[in-house]
Amino acid sequence: MARRQLVLVREAKLASLLAGAAGDRLEASGVLALDGRCYVIFDDAPDIARVEATLSPPAAGSGLIRQPRGRRAGFEDIAHDAVAGRFFVLVEARPRGRGFMAEVQEYDERFGYLGRAWLQFPLDGPNKGLEGLTCVHRDGRTYLLGLCEGNRCRDGEEGRRPGGGRVQVFERGLRHWDRVATIRLPATLDFEDHSSLALAGDRLAVVSQTSSALWVGRIRPSSWEVAGQGTVWAFPTDPEGRVVYCNVEGVSWLSADTVVVVSDRAKRNGQDERCRAKDRSIHVFTLPAGG
């Protein structure tokens, strides 16, 4: 069945918005919209980009926030705790014991590094871990929601079988973040992978890189359950109907009907040249009226 397409509002290459960043590879993997600015993190570097949500050329306040401390790579998403004034950056997976777990690095309101903690959930391997992160407050308690990349939080063929989207819910324990619940995305959602999520009120957005699409649904206010099946929109295609947004990674809400998305670097092997036109970029889309 043909899906309605998101409507592009504006987009730009990240390098064009960041003065002095021309030499950086800028493999964008996550984005957070906050107070008229967008904070972008990168898989291949610890520094955090700050750009105007208008995607204006380099201006006062825009640039890279250098991070000399903490992990140096493997970052997948960024979240904000508005109550405590903290930022969290997700590290997809790290060796722990005989397996792997994701980590979060914590920063103060000025992006001063504070430390890191495990997200207590076992992962299949180092490359199919947690891809998305968002923060939510309920009944005076703070939770982090971590999106599994693979269906059923699995790697390999099982992880590519649609219908098993999972979001793990974590609450801060004495030293790390303990898993306290699991959100099951609708079994009808046919995403092959999941690359980021964002929550605004009860509205949950999830993007898929492989499927080049965005799903929006609602979380019940009194439980960690999805209400209904939600709605899926495709990212715009070229005139021949071919995918051009091939590497969407991060998503954040700008308003009730507008999202900001970032795209990773196009893969050197296996992706068409048309994918490079949109890679290492930041994009703003609106959801079609009636959705």
Return d(Cα 26, Cα 13) in angstroms, integer: 10
Residue 55, pLDDT score: 94
Q: Is the pLDDT of residue 21 over 80?
A: no
pLDDT at 227: 97
Chain centre distance of CA 250: 3
How far apart, in whole angstroms, are the C-alpha atoms of residue 279 and residue 25?
11
Q: How confident is the model at residue 23 (pLDDT cuts 50, 70, 90)?
A: low
* Per-residue pLDDT tens digits for 211-267: 999 999 999 998 999 999 999 999 999 999 999 999 999 999 999 999 999 999 998
Candidates 109, 161, 89, 100; CA nearest to 129 is 100
Q: Does the domain spanning 7-286 belong to CATH 2.115.10?
A: yes
Alpha-carbon span 166 to 94, nearest angstrom? 20
What is the pTM (predicted TM-score) of this model? Answer: 0.96
Q: In whole angstroms, what is the distance from residue 74 CA to residue 85 CA?
A: 24
Query: What are the residue ranges spanned by the domains of the chain?
Result: 7-286
Whether residue 62 contacts residue 40, with contact meaning beta carbons closer than 8 Å, is answered with no
Tokens of residue 28, six digits:
């964008």
Spatial distance between the Cα atoms of 225 and 227, rounded to a whole number of angstroms: 6
What single-letter amino acid sits at 104? V
